[in-house]
């Protein structure tokens, strides 16, 4: 079987998870890593025994020996890099969020459709065991009709620096960085409903930067469920770690992180631990590895990855609507 050759774009923190996931797949070769500065790209290449390193992504777009690109750069470069690779017949994996805004997301879709190429988006919690346990419970009907959810994307007593806190490079702050995890996780658990209305209050209270570090978003879905999403950096308290979600049904309750169920047995209220394998770290390697495995499977089969363009675009639509709602003080309605 011919190996799929990958260009890894970006050599920051998240690239380590992608590299480990890709190198666990025998049919994959990371052909080159691109990053800045040159010394960082070379050090990353040496760490993972990648034969080639470069600081010039533009030299890779039309390389015939590259099949796909995995892009983990600052958000500003997601759309231009993805579009350039797609236009040269390469499939693309994009870290979340898919782009700086919904308009850029549509440009990525246009390029993918025009060139019959695949795009996957790194909403990795869809590959987590705990999240899938709760999703399967919801799908079974055991909790009844889901009335509301509460989700969290919060850092307690810390926050990122560098490009994450610069609007020009990131597009947004804690909502774009952390809130997107909570939004996509609950969408997945609920069966990917579409948003009907979004109302938000977003602000900057904990640091000296031009992006948000605190937000509350209320989303009305077309299945009748209401979702509350909290995002933030440097918060003095968090009700749950990244992507933690509470699901309130007419027959019971489910919680992700910690993961357990509450429902009645014989008319008596009970709490039941999911009894899943203990994680060594919250964002563990296993879900990133499953994510990369899915991407490579889709390249082989030519099936659209999920989460892909559709899922990534809806998250961008919701985030844009949340920022707009916070600015205007009005509810944003979707057509």
pLDDT digits (tens, 9 = 90+) for 2-31: 999 999 999 999 999 999 999 999 999 999
CA distance 30 to 65: 11
The domains found in the chain, sorted by start residue, are 4-122+286-292 (3.40.50.720), 126-283+316-333 (3.30.360.10)
CA distance 143 to 137: 7
Indicate if the pLDDT at residue 150 is higher than 90: yes
Indicate if the pLDDT at residue 254 is higher than 90: yes
**Is the separation of the CB atoms in 76 and 67 below 8 Å?**
no
pLDDT digit string, tens, across residues 258-273: 999 999 999 999 999 9
Half-sphere exposure of 74 (CA within 13 A, CB side): 17
Residue 156: band (very low, low, confident or very high) from pLDDT cuts 50, 70, 90: very high
Proportion of the chain above pLDDT 90, given as a percent: 98
Residue 222: band (very low, low, confident or very high) from pLDDT cuts 50, 70, 90: very high
Residue 278: band (very low, low, confident or very high) from pLDDT cuts 50, 70, 90: confident
**Is the separation of the CB atoms in 218 and 226 below 8 Å?**
yes
Nearest one of 127, 129, 126, 72 to 96, comparing CA atoms: 72
**Residue 286: what pLDDT?**
96
Indicate if the pLDDT at residue 109 is higher than 90: yes
pLDDT digit string, tens, across residues 54-80: 999 999 999 999 999 999 999 999 999
List Cβ neighbours of 80 (8 Å cut-off, separation of 6 or more): none
Residue 183: band (very low, low, confident or very high) from pLDDT cuts 50, 70, 90: very high
CA distance 165 to 238: 20
**Is the separation of the CB atoms in 66 and 7 below 8 Å?**
yes
**Residue 115: what pLDDT?**
98
CA distance 156 to 281: 16
**Residue 46: what pLDDT?**
98
pLDDT digit string, tens, across residues 85-96: 999 999 999 999
**Is the separation of the CB atoms in 288 and 18 below 8 Å?**
yes
The DSSP letter of residue 33 is E
Q: How far is CA 7 from CA 64, 82, 177, 279, 294, in A?
A: 12, 12, 24, 30, 17
CA distance 86 to 117: 6
**Residue 52: what pLDDT?**
98
Burial class of residue 189 in the structure, from the number of CB atoms within 10 Å of its CB (0-12 exposed, 13-18 middle, 19+ buried): buried
**Residue 91: what pLDDT?**
98
Q: How far is CA 215 from the centre of its chain?
A: 18
**Residue 327: what pLDDT?**
98
Residue 335: band (very low, low, confident or very high) from pLDDT cuts 50, 70, 90: confident
CA distance 159 to 180: 16
Q: How far is CA 146 from CA 127, 179, 186, 254, in A?
A: 22, 21, 11, 10
- Cβ burial 129-168 (10 Å sphere, 16+ → b, else e): ebbbbbbebbeeeebeebeebbbbbbbeeebeeeebbbee
Indicate if the pLDDT at residue 1 is higher than 80: no
């Amino acid at each position: 079987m011919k190996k799929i050759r990958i260009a890894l774009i970006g050599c920051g923190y998240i690239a380590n998870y992608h590299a480990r996931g890709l190198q666990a797949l025998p049919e994959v070769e990371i052909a080159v890593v691109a990053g800045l500065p040159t010394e960082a790209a070379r050090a990353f290449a040496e760490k993972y025994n990648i034969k080639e390193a470069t600081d010039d992504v533009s030299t890779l777009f039309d390389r015939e020996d590259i099949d796909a690109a995995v892009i983990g750069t600052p958000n500003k470069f997601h759309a231009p890099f993805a579009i350039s690779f797609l236009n040269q017949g390469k499939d693309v994996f994009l870290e979340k969020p898919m782009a700086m805004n919904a308009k850029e997301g549509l440009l990525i879709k246009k390029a993918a459709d025009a060139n019959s190429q695949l795009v996957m988006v790194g909403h990795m919690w869809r590959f987590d065991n705990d999240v899938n346990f709760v999703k399967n419970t919801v799908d079974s009907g055991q909790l009844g009709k889901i009335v509301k959810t509460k989700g969290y994307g919060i850092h307690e007593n810390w926050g990122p620096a560098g490009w994450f806190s610069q609007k020009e490079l990131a597009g947004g702050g804690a909502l774009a960085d952390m809130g997107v995890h909570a939004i996509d996780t609950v969408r997945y658990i609920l069966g990917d409903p579409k948003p009907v209305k979004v109302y938000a209050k977003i602000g900057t209270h904990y640091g000296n930067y031009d992006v948000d570090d605190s937000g509350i978003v209320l989303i009305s879905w077309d299945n009748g469920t209401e979702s509350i999403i909290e995002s933030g950096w440097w918060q003095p308290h968090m009700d749950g770690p990244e992507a933690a979600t509470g699901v309130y049904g007419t027959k019971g309750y489910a919680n992700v992180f910690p993961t357990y169920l509450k429902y009645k047995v014989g008319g008596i209220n009970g709490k039941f631990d999911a009894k899943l394998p203990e994680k060594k770290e919250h964002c563990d390697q296993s879900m990133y590895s499953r994510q990369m495995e899915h991407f490579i499977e889709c390249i082989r089969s030519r099936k659209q990855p999920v989460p892909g363009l559709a899922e990534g675009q809806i998250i961008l639509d919701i985030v844009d609507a949340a920022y707009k709602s916070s600015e205007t003080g009005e509810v944003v309605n979707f057509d």
